[in-house]
Amino acid sequence: MKMTGEDLFKFGNEKFTNHSAILPLWQTMAEHFYPERSDFTTTWSLGSELGVGLASSQPVLIRRDLGNSFGAMLRDGSWFNMGIDGDPDLMGKMWLEFATQRMFKLMNHRSANFRRATKQGDHDYATFGNAVISIELNKKATGLIYRNWHMKDCAWWDNDEEQVDGLVRKWCAKVHEVQSYFNQEGDKIPVEVEKKITENKLFDEVNIMHFDITTEMYGHDKWSRFERVSIFLDTRSKEIIRIVGKNYKCYVVPRFQTIAGSPYAISPATMTGLPEARTLQAMTHTLLEAGERIARPPLIAREKVIRGDANLFSDGMTYVSEKYDGRLGPPIETLETNSGGFPWAMDQRVGVIEVLQSAFYLNKIALPETGHEMTAYEVQERMKQYRRENLPLFAPIEHDYNGQLCEVSFQILQENGLLGSWEEIPQSLSQEDVIFKFESPLSLSEEEKKATQFSQVAQLLRDAVEFEETASLNINFDEALRDAVEGVGAPAKWLTQVDELSQRREQYQQEKQAMIEAGMDEQKTQAA
């Protein structure tokens, strides 16, 4: 079935109708943990005081720590490398190193907006369990640009393989944004928008829907050579403004913990911590009231004794009737209050905060404290334990979140020639799929293990040679040394190609033999 503009509009509205059911939950989560994002069901005006209903900022601070830890743990320094399923030759390794460095440079360029988009996405991911980040070429087609989108404006769905199959996004754009963005050949700006441009009404709003769907769903044979289509639709006139065929997704939707039957994931941190956050707000509010009663206890005054109100401010003076007989007792006294439960309540509050920190994995992320100096073995064992406790949290994020970002970025760069031409790719890589390998403080890569193993084998050989001179023949030193050099992160171009290494060895043996023969001739001459 071929979808028209009217069909696309109905389809988009249907997806947003289903999507609206989860907005109240996201609103509740945002109000307790991420007040800056608490506009799913409410509209904030510029200058509104966010988090006005909170009595404690502790849940917000705990969410902030978890969201910040994603970038610090998983995107620090050179956090990814390209590889293939197998062992490429030296030329293949050199190209993969070049592509890794080139892509890393383009992703981290200031104008690419990568750091900003992923930081916003990290906090959405930690709070709601989902994030929406778009990846596309910049206007000059010289690099990438990343954007994080509000999830109330995005609805997505899964395919039969439980992967995000498509996404529709609402965009309330200004007329001048429409004029600037849709200026390519083939774009069709609606007549009403053109009229506003002519009348210089550049700050009027235009409602647009963006569809990132499969070509099979769109149904038009014209785009069958592409895997997907990107369509911008004017919701008022139902006219298609722009349609572009693509072989990659426009949006990356990382998901924290999915639930069978729903395309929308949840955050186990906020779902677990939401009852504690509610309890903490109620406890804090109660403790504030109790503390105020202790500091300024309620008063009891005898009837018709106080002239006016009791002035409780500093240096305040309260007048008593001159007819009052002081022998009847003080004219005004404090109401007795029992503050014995206050320390207990404070301890309970600390316990609630500890549960919140546990729900947000903060007790796992922090390095364990030590009260004594440790040996190298103790440090190694503690780091192993640290990795075991944190990998269940961070390993899926590397695979689903960082993996999608890198894969889509690589596809865009490769298809648009920003990683060089296809002819420059070595033959050993031409039929291989690129695999991204991630490096972080939590993952000791296999390559690093090879370098450590080489050092251990070298020590064993030094001990073995004392008993058997030919013990070193058990090891293929060429393979071992090359693996160890790669393991320490040295560039592939530092290594000599295997064919050239054989030629150098042969030349070295010839020169050595020539020197030996020359030495023997010299000895014979001297003897004569």
Where residue 127 falls among pLDDT bands split at 50, 70, 90? very high
CA atoms of 376 and 452, how far apart (whole Å): 15
Mean pLDDT, the chain, rounded, equals 86
CA atoms of 367 and 378, how far apart (whole Å): 14
Question: 322-354: per-residue pLDDT in tens?
Answer: 777 777 677 777 777 777 677 888 888 999 999
pLDDT at 459: 77
Query: Would you list the DSSP string of 151-195?
Result: GGGEEEEE-TTSSEEEEEEEEEEEHHHHHHH--STT----HHHHH
Supply the DSSP symbol for 398.
I
Question: 135-175: per-residue pLDDT in tens?
Answer: 999 989 999 999 999 999 999 999 999 999 999 999 999 99
Question: 475-492: per-residue pLDDT in tens?
Answer: 776 777 767 766 666 666
* Closest C-alpha among 509, 395, 499 to residue 441: 395
Radius of gyration of the chain (CA): 34
Where residue 443 falls among pLDDT bands split at 50, 70, 90? low
496 pLDDT above the threshold of 60: yes
pLDDT at 185: 87
- State pTM to two decimals: 0.81
Element containing residue 135 per DSSP (H, E): strand 133-137
528 pLDDT above the threshold of 70: no
Residue 248: other Cβ atoms inside 10 A? 18
Higher pLDDT, 399 or 305: 399
Domain limits, the chain = 299-334, 445-518
Compute the average pLDDT of residues 439-461. 69
Residue that is written with structure tokens 């075991």 in the block: 388
Where residue 1 falls among pLDDT bands split at 50, 70, 90? low
Where residue 445 falls among pLDDT bands split at 50, 70, 90? very low
20 pLDDT above the threshold of 80: yes
